Copies of this chain bind each other. A is one copy, B any other.
Amino acid sequence: MRHGCTLRGDPDAVVERVATLSAAAAGTLSFLANPQYRSQLQATRATAVVLAAGDAEACPAACLISSNPYLTYARIAAELHPEPPLAPGVSSRAVVAATASIGAGSQVESGAVIGDGADIGERCYVGANAVIGRDCRVGADTRLMPLVVLYPGVRVGARCLLHAGAVIGADGFGIARGEGGRWTKVPQVGSVVVGDDVEIGANTTIDRGAIGDTIIGDGAKLDNQIQIGHNVVIGCHTAIAGLVGIAGSTKVGARCILGGDATVSGHLEIVDDVVVSGGATVTNSITRPGLYGGPLPASEMRSWRRNAVRFGQLDELARRLQRLEQIVGQKGKADT
């Protein structure tokens, strides 16, 4: 069977669209990947469900048994719900510079502005009111949704998807302090290079390099409202959730996952295969793969306040503990 899964149940069952387990009706395909939703399996009215072998017994519908149900679901869903085909051509309301090049089969929507020397590949989509600066290069089959901005000289690979409002290549935050605290702008003369198969979320910003380029590796997936500083390097197949900020010159390895609202300081290195919790603040380089935690979870206000006050006394509490240990005759754990 295609998609590397095993069918259990009616081989002639037909599904036309996807549905959640709880909202499924006849003719739908559903899936079970997050154990939190296992209790919804028994009552589902889906025609077929993608799931792991261990869940097949409890399933009332046809089963597509997979060792990776979510991935199998993703592939079948993409067949059931294909992207709408492009309507190739350049809108008469778009503004394309005479020296720009638009590849065969590409669609450029109303209000899009494409600058001198820009090179848009084949079968690309440039959404309404998007702005592509001079000398940008965009690979084949890449879609730039409405209001995407590529600053001059930015390069984006093939098969990428950039969502509305993403701004790629604005100046990095480079300022030098002088007399009286006055700031002088440091020219940002690098650019941004986005690899192939990258997705960039709505209103995400990726700054151009100060010197040299900011680099987003092949297959990286960035959610919405992310801020990537100048000269950051994001490794291949790394996934970054919404509202994350990565400060300048930091290198994030391959296959990392950064949870939503995490923050990474500048000039750090994070090795491959690191997972950082949502909201965590990474202030030092991470040299070993693994899971990294932070921040403190919210709790009821009364207990939160009590404990937060104690946090402000923590060093003093530790010193008092050590003094007590000495009095009581404990071998002092001389960590202060």
Binding site for B on A (CB under 8 A): 17-20, 23, 34, 36, 68, 70-71, 73-75, 77-78, 80-81, 91, 93, 95, 109-111, 113, 127-129, 131, 145-147, 149, 151, 161, 163-165, 167, 170-171, 173-178, 180-187, 189, 199, 201-203, 205, 207, 211-212, 219, 221, 223-225, 227, 229, 237, 239, 241-243, 245, 247, 254-255, 260-263, 265, 267, 273, 276-284, 290-301, 303-318, 320-321, 323-325, 327-330, 333, 335
Contact = CB atoms under 8 A, between A and B. Distances in A.
Contact of A212 (B23, B283, B324): B23
Contacts of A311: 296, 307, 311, 314
Contact of A301 (B20, B93, B293): B293
Nearest to A20: B211
With a 10 A CB-CB cut-off, give which of A227, A229, A262 has the most chain B CB atoms: A227
A25 B328 CA distance: 66
Contacts of A205: 165, 201-203, 224-225, 242
B296 A308 contact: yes
A175 to B, nearest CB: 5
Given A149-B164, A321-B324, 18 more contacts: A23-B212, A71-B176, A74-B174, A78-B184, A95-B111, A147-B149, A165-B203, A223-B227, A245-B260, A260-B265, A279-B281, A281-B298, A293-B308, A297-B308, A307-B315, A311-B311, A317-B318, A324-B328
Contacts of A175: 74, 199, 221, 239
B131 A147 contact: yes
A145 B149 CA distance: 10
A245 B202 CA distance: 13
A188 B218 CA distance: 22
Contact of A242 (B127, B149, B245): B245
A219 B185 CA distance: 10
A196 B223 CA distance: 28
A324 B330 contact: yes
Nearest to A78: B187
A227 to B, nearest CB: 4
Nearest to A127: B131
Nearest to A236: B181
A175 B71 CA distance: 8
A164 to B, nearest CB: 4
A306 B336 CA distance: 10
A105 to B, nearest CB: 20
A224 B71 CA distance: 34
A191 B185 CA distance: 27
A205 B290 CA distance: 31
